[in-house]
């Protein structure tokens, strides 16, 4: 809890709040075991890492969860399951700030930037948040540093690699007992562990400077040859997400147009 006691108002409130125990059925005990660093190497690119993420089945109702923020996670009046957008809000803020601490130069990208530009909130039905980071020439990605993984682990998160780097909530997070719903943990007599892309998580996308050819965006939906002109990337601009300011591309409207098309302000279920 030391990381939280030195944090912002939400993190300090979280540190002082009573911890709800993580309750699981005996057959689902693997849910609360979490990733053991002596057995799991997050550097290995593997889909098997997902099973170490806390399986969360939140509320994605657009009307009930529009504008839901992390503060609702501490409000006992808010019924469970909690809103997925509130969980994403907490995860996005914590990961973004950790990336700032380690010099990653984070920027909101893809669906998270789209939600911020569209109405200043997370897209309510999405499971993930999208953050880009810069890869300096000749340097290793900041997200590969052991210190970065330890920082996130101290906050209750798990950094792992599956195609790209990702962050999910682990079973030792102080809110795990509130986020995990024991009543949805067993379906058809089988334990529901987190399958690939079925948890709340953050995708971390590498931005690589290709000189006069602009920046490449890791795993962009348009393919590996998609380029962002340098003048569209820097200097960074800011956008608001649930009332907080985050960095993004200098011309975020161009990026969203190039990514989602001219009607990017119109909501679509497949975006993200």
Residue 57 lies in a domain: yes
Measured CA to CA, the distance from residue 41 to residue 37 in angstroms comes to: 7
Residue 269 lies in a domain: no
Which residue is associated with the tokens 């993930």? 128
Residue 215 lies in a domain: yes
Residue 267 lies in a domain: no
Inter-residue contact 122 to 241 (CB < 8 Å): yes
Angstrom CA distances, 188 to 26, 184, 191, 192, stand at 16, 11, 8, 10
Residue 67 lies in a domain: yes
Residue 246 lies in a domain: yes
Residue 50 lies in a domain: yes
Measured CA to CA, the distance from residue 222 to residue 229 in angstroms comes to: 15
Retrieve residue 40's tokens.
């799991």
- Each residue's pLDDT, cut to its tens digit, for the chain (272 residues) gives 567 777 788 888 888 888 788 877 766 667 776 666 656 677 788 888 888 899 888 888 888 887 889 999 988 887 778 899 999 999 999 999 999 999 999 999 999 999 999 999 998 888 999 999 998 777 778 899 999 999 999 999 999 999 999 999 998 999 998 888 776 655 544 556 677 888 899 999 999 999 889 999 999 988 878 999 999 999 999 999 999 999 999 999 999 999 999 988 887 765 55
Residue 79 lies in a domain: yes
Domain that holds residue 223: 4-37+46-260
Number of domains in the chain: 1
């Amino acid at each position: 809890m030391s990381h939280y006691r030195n944090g912002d108002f939400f993190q300090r409130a979280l540190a002082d709040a009573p911890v709800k125990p993580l309750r699981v059925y005996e057959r689902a005990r693997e849910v609360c075991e979490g990733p053991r660093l002596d057995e799991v190497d997050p550097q290995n690119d593997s889909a098997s890492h997902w099973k170490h993420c806390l399986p969360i089945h939140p509320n994605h109702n657009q009307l009930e969860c529009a504008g839901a923020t992390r503060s609702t996670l501490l409000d006992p009046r808010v019924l469970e399951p909690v809103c997925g957008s509130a969980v994403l809000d907490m995860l996005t803020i914590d990961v973004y700030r950790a990336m700032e601490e380690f010099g990653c130069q984070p920027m909101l990208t893809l669906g998270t930037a789209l939600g911020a530009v569209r109405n200043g909130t997370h897209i309510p039905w999405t499971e993930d948040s999208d953050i880009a980071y810069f890869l300096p020439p000749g340097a290793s990605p900041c997200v590969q540093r052991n210190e970065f993984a330890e920082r996130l682990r101290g906050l209750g998160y798990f950094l792992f690699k599956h195609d790209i780097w990702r962050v999910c909530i682990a079973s030792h997070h102080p809110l795990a007992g509130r986020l995990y719903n024991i009543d949805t943990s067993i379906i058809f007599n089988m334990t529901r562990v987190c399958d690939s892309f079925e948890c709340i998580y953050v995708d971390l996308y590498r931005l690589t400077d290709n000189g006069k050819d602009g920046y490449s965006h890791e795993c962009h939906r348009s393919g590996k040859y998609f380029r962002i002109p340098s003048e569209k990337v820097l200097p960074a601009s800011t956008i608001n997400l649930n009332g907080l300011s985050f960095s993004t591309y200098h011309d975020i409207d161009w990026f969203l147009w190039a990514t989602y098309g001219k009607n990017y302000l119109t909501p679509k279920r497949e975006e993200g």
